[in-house]
Structure 1
């Protein structure tokens, strides 16, 4: 296992990269980045669907500049972790609870033995949803969570190429491993920049595409029917009124006001129902808040600094 480092996206110094095996036999790639002097703890970084460790090198450096060690993984079926189907480009999962196995394995095998406490979590999109699900099941691995664009509900954009009932029906007749109807075989970050739903920053968008061009095996394209069905079922559970009310994990939800993938309204509704959390909307930001233009990223990091103990306020 190694990191893909290119001139446009160099790997941060002090990285330890390795592999671990989950109890159900899946090999996952992880990376740890040593804490700077005067360490304050560790931020565990969990990416969204179709993402990989290299995409977040800049974020790793942002966190280390704030005094934190960083630990992160590629979820199963993504990055250089073990893929779930023969066609590596398909984003496949049988159920979202499989990602909880990845999370728990990572915490027990990497974070607890090798990373300085206290522990905080930073999740994007699908990774944020996995963190919420873990908290709902009573796990308190982290002192606080910052959740960027969590996948709680969708906009009306046909994100997965199939609605809830279509995904369920196709899966019930044994077609779960097929790509969603109308799903593209192109890597998510390799789509043309104009009108992309992820970021309004052309340089950061091109940087991710350059990493995939350098190492095509990192790429993931459209999800499978099974992944879409699992996502719909998870989001339906999270939208039940009693779900956020039972969470006791301190968490900050940050949404993009210009997100056309996940529902900002659903995130706001969820946030207002939390007993130990709050929410914030960054006006004009698209789905990938940490990959946005500098002025939008500054708002994201200001919220992070105000919520996570010990971080300085950056100008």
Structure 2
């Protein structure tokens, strides 16, 4: 068993966390919240800086529509192994390394006998990882996204500089350095609620901050130069690949300021079985938004699950 702070998560009863070792020896923390009589399981791919406990309330709300939930700490964040001595810098060697985490996660879901059909829900960076996973043929009935990182917002001039600086840093072995203009402090600690880029809901912002206040080891600061370079490379590579023939539902807040809304609209507009729901007055964290927005998202997810549950023999 691995450490699990369900009091901070406020998730359903019965949740448990376990240590799992990826194929390259990286130790990962994974967890699931069971649900009696579940009609399926949501495999939740969380975003950069995130960790299992952040999605306790989401797991509770998914249970209300009959789903169990499983999630994990990606390598380099939460309580999973971190690549750098400075554990507050978000770092990954290659973005493809996350697919090793995915393989271990799917194996974990099978070993835990999590109810099928399975669905993937990818948020932000997790949405980028999820798209690659679905393209690789994951055994799911459908995929959902919230503000997926299929592009990163930055001015055109800064984008050119980012490519140049991160490429150069890799060549001179400085890819471990913190990306300029970012902080080693977790975002919810560094940024006050007013003016934050994540949510318009004060209580949910306090919920996120309270978790890293109580358990600082869960926290993560800004990305390394290599993380940014790898993210730019992966989003560029994915942009040229057509969307798979898998049912998809995507939520995008109209106040999004972190990922690129235009790339999301482009892909979802061409996804054969895809639907984009744009939500008014919502920011990056649709699942951490106001109660009304979360209720709407929950209702849309329930309808999506109902119409896709027979899609594949997952």
Q: TM-score, normalised by structure 1?
A: 0.91
CA contact (8 A) 2:11 2:55 kept: no
Whole-Å separation in 2 of the counterparts to 1:49 and 1:160: 19
Partner of 1:210: 210
Q: Which residue of 1 aligns with 2:267?
A: 270
How far apart, CA to CA, are the structure 1 residues paired with 2:24 and 2:214? Answer: 31
Report what 1:46 is aligned to: 45
1:308 aligned counterpart, secondary structure: helix
Aligned to 1:228: 228
Shift in CA distance, 73/40, structure 1 to aligned 2, threshold 3 Å:
same
Does 2:257 align with 1:256? no
Give the C-alpha shift of residue 161 in structure 1: 12
Aligned twin of 2:101 = 102
1:151 is matched with which residue: 144, 149, 152? 149
Q: Please give the alpha-carbon distance, in whole angstroms, between the structure 1 residues aligned to 2:161 and 2:24.
A: 29
Structure 2 counterpart of 1:300, from 263, 285, 297: 297
Query: For residues 283 and 225 of structure 1, do their structure 2 counterparts lie closer, same or farther at Cα, with a shift above 3 Å needed?
Result: same
What is the deviation of 1:157?
6.3
Deviation for aligned residue 1:29: 0.6
Q: Name which of structure 1's ranges 151-160 and 64-73 shifts more when overlaid on structure 2.
A: 151-160
Q: Shift of the alpha carbon at 1:165?
A: 2.4
- Pairing 1:27-106 to 2, within 5 Å after superposition: 27-36=27-36, 38-106=37-105
- Give the distance between the partners of 1:28 and 1:307, measured in 2 at CA: 30
For residues 281 and 244 of structure 1, the distance between their equivalents in structure 2, rounded to whole angstroms, comes to: 22
Query: In 1, distance between residues paired with 2:161 and 2:49?
Result: 18
**How far apart, in 2, do the equivalents of 1:92 and 1:238 lie?**
20
Q: Which residue of 2 aligns with 1:24?
A: 24
Alpha-carbon distance between aligned partners in 2 of 1:197 and 1:111, rounded to the nearest angstrom: 36
| Match of residue 118 from structure 1 | 117
Q: Secondary structure at the match of 1:287?
A: coil
Q: Give me the whole-angstrom Cα distance separating, in 1, the residues matched to 2:227 and 2:112.
A: 32
CA contact (8 A) 1:160 1:183 kept: no
For the residue of structure 2 that corresponds to 1:145, the secondary structure is strand
Structure 1 216/134 Cα, relative in aligned 2: closer, same or farther at 3 Å? same
Say if 1:17 and 1:251 are closer, same or farther in 2 by CA, change over 3 A: same
Structure 2 Cα separation of the partners of residues 88 and 284 of structure 1 = 34
Q: Which runs of 5+ in 2 are unaligned?
A: 309-314
Paired with 2:126 and 2:160, the residues of 1 have a C-alpha distance of: 21
Gaps of 5+ in 1: none
- Give, in angstroms, the shift of residue 104 of structure 1: 1.0
- Higher mean displacement: 66-75 or 111-120: 111-120
**SS of residue in 2 equivalent to 1:254:** strand
Distance 1:305 1:65 in 2: 9
Retained in 2: the 8 A contact 1:43–1:70?
A: yes
Aligned length: 305
Q: CA RMSD in A?
A: 2.1
User: Structure 1 residues 270 and 206, CA, compared in 2 at 3 Å: closer, same or farther?
Assistant: same
Q: 1:113 to 1:294 in 2, by over 3 A?
A: closer
Q: 1:178-222, CA deviations, whole angstroms, 9 ceiling, x for partnerless residues? A: 111222111122122111111111111111111101100000000
**Structure 1 contact 259–285 (Cα < 8 Å) conserved:** yes
The answer to whether the 8 A contact 1:28-1:81 is kept is yes
